[in-house]
Amino acid sequence: QIKISLNNYQKKDFLLPLGKYKLELSKRTYIMGIVNLTFDSFSGDGLYSKAQNSKIKIQDYVLEYVHNLIREGADIIDIGGQSTRPYSRPIPLKEEIERTIPVIKRLAKSIKVPISIDTYRAEVAKQALDNGALIVNDITGLRDPKMLKVVKRYNAGVVIMHMKGMPSTMQINPKYRSLIDEIIEFLDKAINRALDIGIAQDKIIIDPGIGFGKNFQHNLLIIKALKELKVLGKPILIGTSRKSFIGKILKVNPQNRLFGSISSVCLAVINGANIVRVHDVKETKQALEVLDRILKVSYR
């Protein structure tokens, strides 16, 4: 086990095959652009509300929004149909499908980057993968056996995230005996469930779940100790963008957390993140181009 952990920790060459796409995660940091098809996103970027205000048809509005994210540098587009902000309640399955699937169907025909479906419902994932999505971003960390089967059947990429509880309850006084150890243990078990059912090693990405069942101090510790997750031998995705811990430090609302978000993203990358999930793609891209160049420079 020690030998495996050491080998995993030193692993740097991650190649993520997604259909016709092959993401070489060892060459640079990849950016996942957030697309919230909701009315009630914590960050104020719910596209349903924005489309209503603009009086443009929602699908046309979303397509233009996504194309702009790609022009700005998004490598992956993450589509979500329901808010998972703290204390949020699930929307009906039918509504989540109606929000996401028609958009994914149109995007799959018009964009040249992989699409991720942000859902913990197996039926939503299945329909998304049927219509062109290539990654399932599961905030519940593959707790549902049906989701495991869907990911395996479609040979999809999968983001396994750590969350304590569910969105409606996760921020009610979350406690840990040993934060990082418990996150690693949870993710390790989820990885093994995935491998046991036949999901390929190179399809798995891990996410410590910033803000999902963590308090202010927990979020800071995760970013500071992110390197410890490398013992699992998987690419690390992290989503700090506009999160409440940044607002608490800076005392600003979500729309004014750009500089704090970039600061947290850069530190996460220094500490091992391979993919960052963000709202502000253009600014993050510029910051990471400089950071990646510095990190890759050779002494010789």
d(CA 278, CA 121): 22
d(CA 213, CA 254): 19
Say which range, 48-62, 132-146, 150-164, 283-297, has the weakest mean pLDDT.
Answer: 48-62
d(CA 287, CA 184): 29
Instruction: Say which residue, 114 or 52, is predicted with more confidence.
Output: 114
Give residue 191's Cα distance to chain centre.
Answer: 16
Q: How confident is the model at residue 56 (pLDDT cuts 50, 70, 90)?
A: low
Q: Tell me: pLDDT of 5 over 90.
A: no
Mean pLDDT within 116-136? 98
Three-state DSSP at 80 gives strand
- The pLDDT assigned to 47 comes to 67
Say which range, 95-109, 164-178, 243-257, 282-296, has the weakest mean pLDDT.
Answer: 164-178
Burial of 188 (0-12, 13-18, 19+ CB in 10 A): middle
Average pLDDT, the chain: 92
Chain position carrying tokens 């996103």 = 41
Q: How confident is the model at residue 53 (pLDDT cuts 50, 70, 90)?
A: low
- The pLDDT assigned to 89 comes to 83
* Cβ–Cβ < 8 Å for 53, 83: no
Mean pLDDT within 233-247? 97
**Which pTM value belongs to this model?**
0.93
Q: Tell me: pLDDT of 44 over 70.
A: no
Q: Tell me: pLDDT of 178 over 90.
A: yes
Mean pLDDT within 264-269? 98
Rg of the chain taking only CA atoms, in angstroms: 18
d(CA 290, CA 92): 43
- φ, ψ of residue 132 to 5 degrees: the values are 120, -10
Q: Tell me: pLDDT of 86 over 90.
A: no
d(CA 165, CA 82): 17
Q: How far is CA 153 from CA 23, 100, 125, 140, 172, in A?
A: 21, 20, 11, 19, 36
* Cβ–Cβ < 8 Å for 109, 132: yes
- The pLDDT assigned to 48 comes to 58
Mean pLDDT within 94-117? 96
Q: How confident is the model at residue 4 (pLDDT cuts 50, 70, 90)?
A: confident
Say which range, 24-28, 88-92, 166-170, 196-200, has the weakest mean pLDDT.
Answer: 166-170
What's the one-letter identity of residue 249? I
Q: Tell me: pLDDT of 195 over 90.
A: yes
Instruction: Tell me the catalytic residues.
Output: 243, 277
The two three-digit tokens of residue 3, written as one number: 């030998």
> Considering only CA atoms, which of 155, 140, 130 is closest in space to residue 18?
155
